């Protein structure tokens, strides 16, 4: 048994927000040298628990014992002083400041003078000791997402963290960056730190954690060593029932060509060639999946197709008509609907309520407009139907959609875009950040749409999602499609190699 | 739509905040040895206590209502038109131009003045709008700078070529009677009715037209607006034109109603409109309420100056009350927006 001073323990923690019980008697035991995963769906209470451990929330009931001492945190500062630090899902960095300045920002003032020289030396030493290589002088905006996360970890270590909490650390990372992160975390644990991360990705838990605590609806449903469980068991524990296996794919006859892209090129935000002569052919009645590692032009492709980004070269045809020069509105009205990757910034208007969001794209057309005026009753009816049909849980239609969970937001977004019976539905990263049940609901809708004869273009960074849903899968690399596989010949290794830039075998 | 609880919270916060502001102002009075009760009583009787006092408050409230409505048109689209002052002054100029220098048959004069004034106000907003859309020029700076241009331009006219040769003051000659807004009483003209009508029209425009919906989305998120197929540049220009045209009404009211001639307008109404729009949460109907509140404060200040209270003390009292009101409402709105139960 490890000594109590090497442990952080939460015992019977409860926390409610109004009538919503986020944590209901949750206990957690964290040890030095261990990586602990807290697994659960969105809304299971993971983040609340982390916020309690990091001093952001105070629990309604229960005890915290930190390194053998009973504590009550009144602020995150108390937790930092006890050696507990948290990396939030959304990084807390000032982009225009250097890495060093970001680290020093949170340092408890020890007098007025900053000893920059000493600070640089210490930061470098800590980085070297933990295999984190970041130039202290580089401004944060120049760092990649993966490097920013490492900087956040470095910041905690600099502040003397012995227990590191990470909230969904891989949700923003590429698979390679995630692997690297877990190597870093392993090194920290081996060096005697305690590490906790929360996630809803099962395979990460199996790959990276020593011990696992599974939360469901605010309660602990299991706490067990990773070596004594399986993916299947964890999935069952997490959602409460066995997750569906591969969905049966019906043999749909490929229909006519709905979307063609011919030699499309476009510049990215920083002026680089994001799309570089891309060809594409999506047919009616199929889900065409585009898989690739982040940064290979996927968001730019979606924007070019939707008309939100200008193509510098090439042609785009929708059902045989050249739409290359059409406005986004005209493309939308012609049956090209779009579920963007940036759900909160682009796809929905967070401060507006559900009915207002249901008419975001069709507010000029019936039924939302009658005799030139907006019919709020029609928007409300649409919202009621969408909420009922898509199983959206909400605290009132009139509340801002900002208050909905990501899964519920995504269901509404899909409902809005599918409602008009599109010729082509373009969906980007449709299940990113969603829990298993919500992701399954989204997948069901895409399949139903396909079965109804629409073309679906699915752009995803989740290989499992594409393999599970797509009738054909294409790898996107360096702004082009570098290989296409029909479902019958899906080959994980070949696709994986192509995603990494390997030259694929002639596939289809 | 605002929920009933939010209404109650906000109006409660407003009343409490104003009360606190009055308390703070009273402390300033105490500190300067000014009799508190008599001063407050003088504000009351000067700004609220009689029909005459109320009318005097409304004379102040009307132009503030117009500039407030102009501000709320722009602000709810998150377009920061700080140029209400200049657009108001150009509105006064446009009206005076027709009244003094365009020969028209009697009944056509007023409509032409109003159109001309609104056109000049809109023009004054158009420049910054185009600069913003085409070159990304910050509209706060461009609209603010144009305020000074407009004020100095009218100063040039009334001190120079347009000055009434018969009078000693830097005023234009009086407008012909066909160029005066119909009076409703000794002090008030039809503008006092026009302001609520326009507020209601704006409320309908915002809530019941696709254009109103589009400008609200524009205010919340540009990516979402683009995604919804809106043309951001065109919408921005339209919002600015409407905002400038409404601000112009404040100037038209002052020259064709209150004064009956063109002169150096009392400074500040354009900026009061900005404050009033914030106090009202950019809701046009509440702009009316807040403009009236502001009119009472301004008229109360006048009453105090007549009662020989130091003008700077008057300003301090007005400032204290406004700051408390704004702080109280901001806190109340933040609270009613926060998720509360069920995170």
pLDDT in tens, A263-304: 999 998 767 788 999 999 999 999 999 988 767 888 899 999
Contact A348 B224 (CB under 8 A): yes
A332 inside 8 A of chain B by CB: yes
Mean pLDDT, range A223-234, rounded to an integer: 84
Task: Identify all chain B residues contacting A328, using CB atoms and an 8 Å cutoff.
Answer: 226-227, 229
pLDDT digits (tens, 9 = 90+) for A166-193: 988 887 676 678 888 899 999 999 999 9
> What is the C-alpha to C-alpha distance for residues A472 and B61, in angstroms, rounded to an integer?
67
Percentage of chain A modeled with pLDDT above 90 = 45
pLDDT above 90 for B216? yes
User: Domain for residue B18, yes or no?
Assistant: no
- Nearest-Cα residue of chain A relative to residue B208: A374
- For all residues of chain B together, what is the average pLDDT? 91
Whether residues A346 and B223 touch (CB distance < 8 A) is answered with yes
Q: Which pLDDT belongs to residue A202? A: 73
Indicate whether A241 pLDDT > 70.
Answer: no
> Inter-chain contact B227–A361, Cβ cutoff 8 Å?
yes
Q: Is the peptide bond before A294 cis (omega within 30 degrees of 0)?
A: no
- The answer for A 126-145 residues in CB contact with B (under 8 A) is none
Domain count, chain B: 1
Same domain membership, residue A324 and residue A234: no
Q: Specify the pLDDT at position A503.
A: 61
When divided into structural domains, chain A yields a total of 2
Average pLDDT over residues B90-116: 95
Q: Are strands A7-17 and A61-66 parallel, antiparallel or unpaired?
A: antiparallel
3-state secondary structure of A168: coil
Q: Work out the minimum CA distance from A372 to partner chain B, whole angstroms.
A: 7
For range B329-340, the mean pLDDT = 70
Average pLDDT over residues B232-238: 97
Of A238-242, A416-420, B24-28, which range is least confident? A238-242
Sorting pLDDT into bands at 50, 70 and 90, what band is A243?
very low
Give B 188-227 residues with CB within 8 A of chain A: 207-210, 212-214, 216-217, 220-221, 223-224, 226-227
Residue A197 C-alpha, separation from nearest chain B C-alpha, in angstroms: 21
pLDDT (0 to 100) of residue A508 = 42
Chain B partners of A398 at a C-beta cutoff of 8 Å?
A: 1, 3
Is the Cβ of B168 closer than 8 Å to some Cβ of chain A? no
Nearest by CB: B223 against A342, A363, A364: A342
Report the C-alpha gap between A187 and A198 in whole angstroms: 18
Kindly report, residue by residue over A28-45, the tens digit of the pLDDT: 999 999 999 998 876 678
pLDDT of residue A242: 41
Mean pLDDT lowest among A166-180, B185-199, B326-340: B326-340
Structural domain including A189 reads 4-94+159-239
**Cross-chain CB nearest to A398 (options B1, B214, B337):** B1
Per the CB < 8 A criterion, the answer to whether A299 and A305 are in contact is no
Q: Give residues with Cβ within 8 angstroms of B127, minimum separation 6.
A: B142, B146
Chain B residues in contact with A329 by the CB 8 A cut-off are 229
CB contact under 8 A, B217 and A349: yes
Instruction: Report if residue A143 sits inside a domain.
Output: no
Condensed to tens digits (0 to 9), the pLDDT of residues B52-95 reads 999 999 999 999 999 999 999 999 999 999 999 999 999 999 99
Q: Which residue of B has its CA nearest to A353?
A: B1
A403 to chain B: which residues are within 8 Å by CB? 339, 342
Contact A134, A117 (CB under 8 A): no
| Mean pLDDT confidence for B261-285 | 94
A395: nearest CB among B226, B229, B342: B342
User: Is it the case that residue A493 has pLDDT exceeding 50?
Assistant: yes
pLDDT tens track for A425-477? 999 989 877 777 888 889 999 999 999 999 999 998 777 888 889 999 999 98
Domain membership flag for residue A493 = yes
- Between B259 and B239, residue with greater pLDDT: B239
Q: What is the mean pLDDT of residues B287-313?
A: 89
Residues A315 and A167 in one domain: no
Per residue in B160-176, pLDDT (tens digit) is 999 998 888 899 999 99
Note the pLDDT of residue A249. Answer: 62
Q: What is the pLDDT, as a whole number, of residue A358?
A: 96
Q: Between A133 and A277, whose confidence is greater? A: A277
Residue A58, in any domain of the structure: yes
A 16-45 residues with CB < 8 A to B: 17-20, 22
**Which is nearest to A188 in space by CA: A75, A71, A33?**
A33
Verify that A217 and A348 share a domain, yes or no: no
Beta carbon pairs, A and B, within 8 Å: 80
Dihedral of the alpha carbons of B123, B129, B130, B131, in degrees to the nearest 10? 120
List chain B residues with CB under 8 Å of A346.
Answer: 221, 223-224, 226-227
Residue B185 domain-assigned (yes or no)? yes
Q: Which residue of chain B has the CA closest to A377?
A: B208
Instruction: Identify whether A399 is part of a domain.
Output: yes
- Using CA atoms, how far apart are residues B131 and B148, in angstroms rounded to an integer? 18
Q: Same domain, yes or no, for A389 and A293?
A: yes
Q: Which residues contact A226 (CB under 8 A, 6 or more apart)?
A: A37, A205, A206, A209, A210, A211, A212
CB contact under 8 A, B220 and A350: yes
Q: What is the pLDDT of residue B339?
A: 43
Within 10 angstroms of residue A295's Cβ, the number of other Cβ atoms is: 14
Which span out of A117-131, A196-210, A444-458, B6-20 was modeled with the highest average pLDDT? A444-458
Is residue A281 domain-shared with residue A422, that is, in the same domain? yes
Boundary-marking domain end, from A205, A239, A273: A239
* End-of-domain residue from the set A239, A269, A301: A239
More confident call, A44 vs A197: A197
C-alpha distances out from residue B254 to A314, B62, B109, B179, Å:
59, 9, 16, 12
Instruction: Verify that A395 and A439 share a domain, yes or no.
Output: yes
A459: helix, strand or coil? strand
CA distance A418 to chain B (A): 15
Instruction: Extract the tokens encoding B264.
Output: 């150096």
Q: Please check whether residues A345 and A484 belong to one and the same domain.
A: yes
Per-residue pLDDT tens over the stretch A388-428: 999 888 888 988 998 888 888 999 999 999 998 999 999 99
Task: Assign residue A183 the CATH number of its domain.
Answer: 3.40.50.300
Residue B340 has pLDDT above 60, yes or no: no
Q: Which of A374, A402, A409 to mutate to test the interface with B (most CBs of B within 10 A)?
A: A374
CA–CA min distance B38, chain A (Å): 47
Q: Are residues A86 and A166 in the same domain?
A: yes
Is B34 inside any structural domain? no
Residue A455 bridge partners (DSSP): A424
Q: Which residue segment(s) compose the domain that B72 sits in?
A: 64-291
Interval B35-59 mean pLDDT? 90
User: Is pLDDT at A22 greater than 70 in this prediction?
Assistant: yes
Model confidence at B151: pLDDT above 50: yes
- Residue in B with minimal Cα distance to A361: B228
Domain assignment present for residue B130? The answer is yes
Chain B residues lying within 8 Å of A355, measured CB to CB: none
Residues A374 and A483 in one domain: yes
Tens digit of pLDDT for each residue in A62-92? 999 999 889 999 888 889 889 999 998 778 8
Same domain, A318 and A389: yes
Do the domain assignments include residue B296? Answer: no
Provide the percentage of residues in chain B whose pLDDT is more than 70.
97
Do A414 and A453 share a domain, yes or no? yes
Residues A223, A304 within the same domain = no
Q: Nearest by CB to A332, which of B220, B229, B342? A: B229
Judged against a pLDDT cut of 80, whether residue A26 lies above it is answered with yes
Locus of tokens 């009119």: B295
The C-alpha atoms of residue A144 and residue A225 are separated, in whole angstroms, by 33
Q: Is A308 on the interface with B (CB under 8 A)?
A: yes
Please report residues of B whose CB lies closer than 8 A to that of A338: 227
Closest by Cβ to B341, choosing from A17, A346, A374: A17
Domain end call among A179, A209, A239 = A239
User: What pLDDT is attached to residue A107?
Assistant: 62
pLDDT > 90 fraction of chain B, expressed in percent and rounded: 71
Task: Select from B209, B229, B342 the Cβ nearest to the Cβ of A18.
Answer: B342
**pLDDT, averaged across chain A:** 86
- Asked whether residue B319 is assigned to any structural domain, the reply reads no
Three-class secondary structure of residue B48 per DSSP: coil
Does B201 map to a domain?
Answer: yes
Is the reported ipTM for this assembly greater than 0.95? no
B5: in domain: no
Per-residue pLDDT at A113:
64
Nearest to B274 by CA among B258, B294, B259: B294
User: Residue A104: what pLDDT?
Assistant: 84
Tell if the CB–CB gap between B221 and A345 is shorter than 8 Å: yes
């Amino acid at each position: 048994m490890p000594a109590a001073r090497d442990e952080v323990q939460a015992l019977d923690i409860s926390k409610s927000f109004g009538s919503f019980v986020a944590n209901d008697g949750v206990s957690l035991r964290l040890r030095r040298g261990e990586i602990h995963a807290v697994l659960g769906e969105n809304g299971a209470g993971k983040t609340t628990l982390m916020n309690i451990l990091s001093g952001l929330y105070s629990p309604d009931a229960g005890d915290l014992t930190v390194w053998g001492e009973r504590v009550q945190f009144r602020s995150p500062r108390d937790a930092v002083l006890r050696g507990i630090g948290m990396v939030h899902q959304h990084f807390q960095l000032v982009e225009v400041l250097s890495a060093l300045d970001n680290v020093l920002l949170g340092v408890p003032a020890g007098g007025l003078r900053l000893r920059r020289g000493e600070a640089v030396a210490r930061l470098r030493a800590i980085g070297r000791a933990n295999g984190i290589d970041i130039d202290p002088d580089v401004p944060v905006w120049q760092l990649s997402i993966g490097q920013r996360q490492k900087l956040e970890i470095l910041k905690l270590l600099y502040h003397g963290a012995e227990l590191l909490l990470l909230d969904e650390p891989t949700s923003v990372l590429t698979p390679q960056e995630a692997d690297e992160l877990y190597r870093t975390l392993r090194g920290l644990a081996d060096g005697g730190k305690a590490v906790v991360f929360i996630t809803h990705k099962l395979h990460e838990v199996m790959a990276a954690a020593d011990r696992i605590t599974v939360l469901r609806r605010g309660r602990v449903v299991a706490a067990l060593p990773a070596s004594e469980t399986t993916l299947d068991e964890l999935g069952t524990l997490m959602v409460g029932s066995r997750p569906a296996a591969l969905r049966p794919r019906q043999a749909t006859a490929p229909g006519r060509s709905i979307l063609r892209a011919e030699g499309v090129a476009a510049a990215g935000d920083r002026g680089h060639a994001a799309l570089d002569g891309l060809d594409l052919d999506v047919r009616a009645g199929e889900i065409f999946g585009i898989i690739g590692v982040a940064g290979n032009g996927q968001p730019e492709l979606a924007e070019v197709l939707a008309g939100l980004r200008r193509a510098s070269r090439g042609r785009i045809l929708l059902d045989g008509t050249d739409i290359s020069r059409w406005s986004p509105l005209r493309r939308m009205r012609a049956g090209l609907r779009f579920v963007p990757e940036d759900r909160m910034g682009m796809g929905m208007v967070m401060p507006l309520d559900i009915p207002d969001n249901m008419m975001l794209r069709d507010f000029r057309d019936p039924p939302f407009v009658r005799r030139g005026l907006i019919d709020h009753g029609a928007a409300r009816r649409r919202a009621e139907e969408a909420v009922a049909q898509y199983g959206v849980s909400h605290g009132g239609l009139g509340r801002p959609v900002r208050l909905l969970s990501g899964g519920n937001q995504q269901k509404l977004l899909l409902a809005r875009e599918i409602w008009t019976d599109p010729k082509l539905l373009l969906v980007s990263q449709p299940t990113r950040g969603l829990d298993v049940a919500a992701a399954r609901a989204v997948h069901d809708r895409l399949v139903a749409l396909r079965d109804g004869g629409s073309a679906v273009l699915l752009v995803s960074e989740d290989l499992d999602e594409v393999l599970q849903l797509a009738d054909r899968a294409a790898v996107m690399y360096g702004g082009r499609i570098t290989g296409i596989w029909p479902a019958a010949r899906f080959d994980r290794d070949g696709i994986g190699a192509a995603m990494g830039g390997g030259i694929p075998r002639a596939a289809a | 739509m605002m929920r009933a609880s939010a209404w109650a919270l906000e109006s409660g916060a407003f009343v409490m905040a104003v009360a606190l502001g009055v308390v703070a102002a009273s402390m300033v009075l105490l500190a300067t040895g000014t009799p508190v009760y008599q001063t407050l009583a003088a504000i009351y009787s000067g700004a609220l206590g009689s029909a005459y006092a109320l009318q005097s408050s409304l004379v102040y409230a009307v132009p503030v209502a117009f500039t407030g409505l102009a501000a709320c048109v722009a602000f709810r689209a998150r377009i920061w038109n700080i140029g209400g002052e200049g657009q108001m002054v150009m509105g006064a100029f446009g009206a005076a131009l027709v009244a003094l220098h365009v020969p028209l048959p009697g009944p056509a004069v007023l409509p032409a003045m109003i159109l001309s004034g609104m056109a000049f106000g809109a023009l004054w907003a158009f420049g910054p709008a185009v600069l913003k859309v085409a070159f990304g020029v910050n509209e706060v700076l461009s609209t603010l700078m144009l305020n000074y241009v407009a004020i100095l331009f009218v100063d040039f006219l009334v001190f120079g070529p347009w000055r009434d040769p018969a009078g000693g003051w830097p005023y234009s000659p009086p407008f012909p009677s066909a160029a005066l807004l119909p009076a409703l009483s000794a002090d008030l003209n039809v503008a006092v009715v026009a302001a609520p009508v326009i507020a209601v029209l704006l409320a309908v425009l915002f809530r019941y037209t696709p254009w109103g919906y589009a400008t609200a989305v524009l205010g919340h998120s540009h990516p979402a607006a683009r995604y919804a197929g809106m043309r951001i540049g065109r919408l921005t220009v339209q919002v600015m034109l409407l905002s400038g045209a409404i601000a112009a009404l404040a100037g038209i009211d002052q020259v064709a109603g209150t004064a009956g001639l063109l002169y150096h307008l009392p400074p500040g109404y354009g900026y009061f409109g900005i404050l009033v729009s914030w106090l009202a949460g950019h809701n046009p109907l509440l702009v009316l309420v807040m403009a009236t509140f502001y009119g009472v404060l301004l008229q109360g200040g006048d009453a105090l100056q007549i009662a020989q209270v130091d003008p700077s003390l008057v300003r301090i009292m007005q400032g204290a009350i406004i700051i408390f009101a704004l702080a109280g409402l901001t806190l109340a709105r933040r609270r009613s927006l926060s998720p509360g139960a069920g995170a």
